[in-house]
Structure 1
Amino acid sequence: MDQRIKLRIEYLRANLKYLNDTELAEYNRLTGQHLTHQHQQQTQEPYQAQQTHQSNQGYQSSQAYQQAPRFEPQPSSDGVNQHHYKQHKQRPVKKPKNKKKRKKVSFWKKLRRFLLLILILMIAFFIYGYQRGKSHAPEGLKTEKFSGQKAPSGATNILILGTDQRDFQTTGDARSDSIMVMQIGAKDKKVKLVSFMRDTLVYQPGVSQYGADTKINVAYNIGEQDDHQGAEYMREVLKKNFDIDIQYYALVNFNSFATVIDSLFPMGVKIDAKFATIGGEKVKSVEVPDDLNWTPEHQDPIQRIKVGPQRMDGRTLLNYARFRKDDEGDFGRTKRQQQVMQAIMSGVKSPLTLFTGSSALGTIKGVTSTNVSDFFMLTHAPGLALNAAKGIESYTVPENGDWVEALDQYGGSGLQIDFDKYQAKLKNLLG
């Protein structure tokens, strides 16, 4: 039976006592009964008794209801039919559904969600740029075996090596021009940098014959000749002589250093070039070896660098950091290397610079030999830049003039130092 018919029958039955002639006729037609107004008071059947009869008559009643013309009663003079007609046409008022009230989101929650979305997008952009720079980087140095250990203080020490290897040379031909240990993640949030002068005489396991009789910069060369373990052997030498635990290493040669600088600083590194006296006289400019352009066919190329503030590209910065022909010699070179590191860290002190330079960081990772993971670099680079912006605490081993000139086991000139003294100083500095 049509649902509309069923609902109509139920409505008419519920109001059987009050039906007018037209409604009573409609009820009889739909149910197949023949009730009159005399029966209305006696014929209030229960719904269950009618159900069987309705199901038998349903199909015919449905057809009759659909085919029969609608009866539109004419209003009588007394207005009775008009009253019932209006009552019949009036639809029952539907009660509005109770809608659950939505909780209003506060302004601060909306702001937090917006900032979280921006942060996620920035991280995604940073990672994309990093991976893109890494994949497009020129072929770099291979990662070496490195058995690093975390410092007891919980801080992270990173061995930074700069070698004098050129493109036409192998790593076995190179020695380390710059030897640094950078500490990050210390409790005091300071970035610390310890530089070791290359001519410092140290004890090298398996090599030294008379105690501390070998220059420290030779350690990388010796390790490279032993199945490319230059960084690892340097770590062992520093641990043996200065009791420093080093977890990671990063190594660059001439070309990779210049690529790093030019990728991270397309406009150059801002630096105040300084030189000591030469032959006791002050200088306004200095001719320095142009190491990046040195080839067997074109030996000893020269570049002139002026004293004072300027911007240096990777080639110029390399030549500036390696120069040691002023009156401070190797100590002056070590100071310039620390100055260069300070300038680099100062240039990336803003997290925005890191995000816009994420591709450059990927390039750095691609051309550098290092055991630093992508995850470590991505998660620590912003914090490192922020902490370095407050200043890098630098220290040199040995301090200026705090050495005795001595010969190494090969008859070359070296620097003899007090190891007990410097072990205590480094323990106090690095923890």
Structure 2
Amino acid sequence: MDPRIKLRIEYLKANLKYLNDNELAEYNRLTGQSLSHDPKPNARTSHEQAVWSDVDTDYNQTASRDNVYHNSYDDIENNHHQNSKGQALSAGFRKQLKPKNTAPKSKKPKKQRKKASFWKKVRRVIVLILLLMIGFFIWGYYRGKTNAPDGLKTEKFAGEKPSSGATNILILGTDQRDFQTTGDARSDSIMVMQINNKDNKVKLVSFMRDTLVYQPGVSQYGADTKLNVAYNIGEQEGNEGADYMREVLKQNFDINIQYYALVNFNSFATVIDSLYPFGVKIDAQFSTIDGKKVDSVDVPDDLNWTPTHQNPIQTIKVGKQRMDGRTLLNYARFRKDDEGDYGRTKRQQQVMQAIMSGVKNPLTLFTGSAALGTIKGVTSTNVSNIFMLTHAPSLAMDASKGITSYTVPENGDWIDAYDQYGGLGLQIDFTKYQAKLKDLLG
């Protein structure tokens, strides 16, 4: 039997009680029966009664299945067509839909949906902040490039990471002016800054420039060359002043240094003015001069020094104030009070602490990024852009808690001695300071 005819018979039989006259006639024709609509069950023949009993049973089974399956059917066309054998076939069949899952859908707790939404918003905010920081960094970089000294480039630096896992950065403040080359400059300030240490502290070690040290290939009688000469010698031999300073510090103090940054007069002022447009808060202090206490000091105005105007002066008062980049530079370089070079080193540390502690203001998240870009644009450094951006927030947080500062040598802990050129320098106990630096920096 044709499967379609069989399917039609099963459908008509399942719905026999509800067939109209035409549908009942179709069922009789397909099955060879002679059923008729009879509202009185008792009037049925025994054969019809048996058939209707089967129909009732099929109907009840179908009704029970309807609790699980929801069937939907298209309208059956009333017109039928004859097939090639003359049999009447229905033009369409009702379609049975797929069973629906009647089980109630589980709903996520509202609290979980809110939590997911909250973290999604947090991620968006973080991404937005990072994009803004990168944008400010790029803007600061190109702003810095317009003020960069001629011939600025990254020098060769064979840095070594300390075994402790921390990061040591050599910071050299040079006395190079814009009309000079690096070969004419010496290192005015020599510092090693340590970050990413186990203590989560920023540590700053300053080395006095007149400390007598051994310099490979230069010193003739042991530790007989001033430390600040190392940068100048290295620059004259292949522009490797920073790397030669790294080598000298390693030789004399057993310090491994990974990165470097060179900052000259103009670069320093540019960075300060970009990071602190309203000035840096600082409490200016000087030692006595010729044994007398002072209320103000006339200091050399280094940024305004030119070959034709070699002695410009700026007056700085003692006490709390805000300093722009030019004034802060002049304050940090002054050494004509009774503490001499030690007093200058102390003021340089004070300046670094004031600069770094000030970045805890939330607004400097973006101005700080711009300043980082400016630093990158005006300084020679091997610190990567990625390192700057990713470490700046943690550095700012650690610095806002205070900076651990140390000076080599300590005040008065030296013997006056002469270098190989006849200049007066500071002779120190290297074994003692190697141990102290090992304890401080790891």
**From 276, 285, 290, the counterpart of 2:287:** 276
Query: 2:14 maps to what in 1?
Result: 14
How far residue 136 of structure 1 moved from its aligned partner, in angstroms, is: 3.5
Write out aligned runs for 1:158-177 (5 A).
158-177=169-188
Give the match for residue 118 of structure 1: 125
Q: Secondary structure at the match of 1:236?
A: helix
Counterparts in 2 of 1:95 and 1:242: CA distance versus 1, 3 Å = closer
Paired letter, 1:369: S
Taking structure 1 as reference, are residues 99 and 307 closer, same or farther at Cα in structure 2, changes over 3 Å only?
same
Secondary structure in structure 2 of the residue aligned to 1:348: helix
Establish whether residue 262 from structure 1 lines up as the match of residue 273 from structure 2: yes
Cα drift, residue 58 of structure 1: 10
Tell me whether 1:222 sits opposite 2:233 in the alignment. Answer: yes
Is the CA contact 2:360–2:400 (under 8 Å) kept in the aligned structure 1? yes
- Among 196, 203, 206, which residue is 1:195 paired with? 206
* Number of corresponding residues: 389
Instruction: After superposition, give the CA deviation of every residue in 1:248-294 in whole Å (9 maximum; x if it has no partner).
Output: 11110011111111111111111111111112111111111110111
CA RMSD of aligned residues (A): 3.1
The answer on 1:390 being equivalent to 2:412 is no
Gap change, CA 1:36 and 1:303, over 3 Å in 2: same
Q: Which of 190, 197, 204 is the aligned partner of 1:186?
A: 197
Matched residue, 1:101? 106
Aligned partners of 2:24 and 2:35 also within 8 Å: no
Residues 86-126 of structure 1: per-residue CA shift (max 9 Å, x gap): xxxxxxxx988546333235244443333233222222222
Q: Distance in 2 between matches of 1:95 and 1:424?
A: 80
Aligned partner letter, 2:139:
R
TM-score (norm 2): 0.80
1:338-357 mapped onto 2 (5 Å cutoff): 338-350=349-361, 352-357=363-368
Judged with a 3 Å threshold, the aligned counterparts in structure 2 of structure 1 residues 187 and 339 are, in CA distance, closer, same or farther, namely same
Q: Deviations over 1:313-354 (max 9, x none)?
A: 111111110011111111110000000000011011345522
Report which stretch shifted further, 369-378 or 235-244: 369-378
Q: Using the TM superposition, name which of 299-308 and 107-116 deviates more.
A: 107-116
Deviations 1:5-45 (A, max 9, x none): x99987544323x356xx11256589987986449947999
Distance change >3 Å, CA 129–CA 210, structure 1 → 2:
same
Are residues 1:24 and 2:21 paired?
yes
The answer to whether the 8 A contact 2:332-2:351 is kept is yes
Partner of 1:73: none
Is 1:32–1:61's contact at 8 Å kept on the other side of the alignment?
no
The alpha-carbon distance between structure 1 residues 53 and 171, as it changes in their structure 2 partners (threshold 3 A), is same
1:206 aligns with 2:203: no
Amino acid at match of 1:198: R
Query: Partners in 1 of 2:117 and 2:395 — Cα distance?
Result: 31
Letter of the structure 2 residue corresponding to residue 325 of structure 1 = K
Q: What SS class does the counterpart of residue 262 from structure 1 fall into?
A: helix
What is the aligned-residue identity percentage? 69
1:298 partner SS: coil
Normalised by the size of structure 1, how large is the TM-score?
0.82
Unaligned runs of at least 5 residues, structure 2: 1-5, 38-46, 56-79, 94-98
1: CA distance, partners of 2:7 / 2:276: 82
- The answer on whether the counterparts of 1:350 and 1:385 sit within 8 Å (CA) in structure 2 is no
Gaps of 5+ in 1: 1-5, 46-51, 66-93
Of 165, 168, 185, the match for 1:154: 165
Contact (CA 8 Å) 1:31, 1:54: kept in 2 or not?
no
Mapped partners of 1:287, 1:55: distance in 2: 119
Cα deviations by residue, 1:361-399 (Å, 9 ceiling, x for unpaired): 111112121111122212211111111112111111111
Which residue number corresponds to residue 135 of structure 1? Answer: 142
Q: Secondary structure of the equivalent of 2:177?
A: coil
Indicate conservation of the 8 Å contact 1:351/1:385, yes or no. Answer: no
Aligned equivalents of 2:377, 2:245: Cα separation in 1: 22
